[in-house]
């Protein structure tokens, strides 16, 4: 089972490198779906001892919401299949170098902080996901890419909770699920409204409110 977990974590980290390099929205959607399945595999393997209700809850969170609903919803709101996002200053393979640097840095940090309660592999993947999500948000100017970066950060938070093994009350787990669900739903609705008001989905257009 340990080998299976390691394999999934490595796949997750590779998917982060691909995400950092991606430029097409459909690539983001595909990679987020893939990450949803990977997170389900990890959660199932780590949390098998949970009771049936909690296991079903995790199943809903990862498989149905992260791998199913969210990519489906994003696909629906992106009418143009080959929608290319507006990349910022760091492009192409330079993004891969940045992502690689983040992953190596996260691994070193995780190794330094390692103790019996902190799993290095999950911690590396979680911190990498958080930082690469922030990197994508800063480096890209497309609104939909920002939505994808938010989901990458959320995946990082999910992994962090696995890394630290913290047990939150069901109420909090429900709030996290609601958070992802409602944020995506609301942001998706606003995305459509934004398209009605603005010519394209460049974040630069959202600059009317200033001093």
Partner 1 sequence: MISLYLIVTAVLALAAFFIRKNAITHALVFAYVIFLAGFGIFMSHHVGEYFGEYFFCDYLGLIFLALLIIITFVSALHYVTSSKNRSNTPAIIALHNAGTIFFTGAITGVYFTSHFGVLWAFVEATTLGASVLIYHNRNQDSLEATWKYLFVCSIGIAIAFAGILFLGLAAQEKNNSDISFAGIKAIAASLNQGWLKACFLLIVTGFSVKMGLVPLFNVDIDAKDASPSQVGASLSSVLMNAGFVSIYRFYEAFSDTSILPWMNRFLLITGMASLFFAAVYSLKVRNIKRLFAYSSMEHAGLVMVAFSCGGIGYFAAILHLIMHSFIKSSLFFQVSQMHRIYNSKWDDNIGSYLRVNPLGGLVLLLGFISIIALPPSGLFISELLMMQALITQNLWWVALLVVALVLVVIYGLSVRILGILFLKKSTVNITPAGATLWESVIQLCILVFVFYLGLFRPQAVVDTIYAAIQTLPL
Give the nearer residue to partner 1 in terms of CB position, either 52 or 209. Answer: 209
CA 121 to chain centre: 17
CA atoms within 13 A on the CB side of 97: 5
Question: Cβ of 188: how many Cβ atoms within 10 Å?
Answer: 17
Q: Does the protein bind partner 1 through residue 109 (CB under 8 A)? A: no
* Residue span binding partner 1 (CB under 8 A) among the ranges 18-26, 46-54, 100-108, 148-156: 148-156
The tokens of 68 are what?
A: 């199913």
Is residue 2 packed enough to be buried (19+ CB in 10 Å), middle (13-18) or exposed (0-12)?
A: exposed
Q: Does the protein bind partner 1 through residue 168 (CB under 8 A)? A: yes
Give the nearer residue to partner 1 in terms of CB position, either 83 or 96. Answer: 83
Binding residues for partner 1, rule CB under 8 A, total: 38
- Nearest-approach distance from CB 126 to partner 1, in angstroms: 9
**2-21 positions binding partner 1, by CB under 8 A:** none
DSSP class of residue 204 equals G
- Nearest-approach distance from CB 198 to partner 1, in angstroms: 8
List 19, 29, 143, 148, residue binding partner 1 (CB under 8 A): 143
The tokens of 52 are what?
A: 């049936």
List 19, 130, 136, 144, residue binding partner 1 (CB under 8 A): 130
List 84, 165, 200, 204, residue binding partner 1 (CB under 8 A): 165
List 131, 172, 199, 202, residue binding partner 1 (CB under 8 A): 172
Taking the CA atoms of 202, 191, 69 and 56 in sequence, report the sign of the dihedral they define. Answer: positive
Look up tokens 């993947």; give the residue: 125
């Amino acid at each position: 089972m340990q080998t299976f977990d390691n394999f999934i974590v490595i796949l997750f980290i590779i998917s982060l490198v691909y995400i950092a390099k991606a430029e097409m929205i459909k690539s983001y959607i595909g990679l987020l779906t893939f990450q949803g399945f990977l997170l389900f595999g990890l959660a199932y393997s780590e949390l098998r001892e949970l009771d049936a209700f909690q296991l079903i809850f995790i199943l809903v969170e990862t498989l149905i919401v992260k791998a199913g609903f969210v990519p489906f919803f994003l696909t629906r709101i992106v009418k143009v299949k080959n929608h290319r996002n507006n990349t910022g200053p760091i492009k192409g393979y330079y993004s891969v170098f940045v992502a690689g640097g983040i992953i190596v840095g996260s691994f070193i940090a995780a190794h330094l902080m390692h103790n019996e309660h902190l799993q290095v592999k999950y911690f590396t993947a979680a911190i990498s996901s958080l930082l690469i999500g922030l990197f994508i948000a800063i480096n890209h100017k497309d609104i939909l890419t920002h939505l994808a970066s938010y989901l990458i950060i959320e995946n990082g938070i999910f992994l962090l909770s696995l890394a630290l093994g913290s047990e939150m009350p069901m109420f909090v787990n429900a709030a996290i699920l609601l958070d992802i669900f409602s944020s995506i739903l609301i942001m998706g609705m606003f995305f459509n409204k934004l398209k009605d008001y603005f010519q394209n989905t460049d974040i630069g257009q959202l600059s009317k409110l200033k001093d």
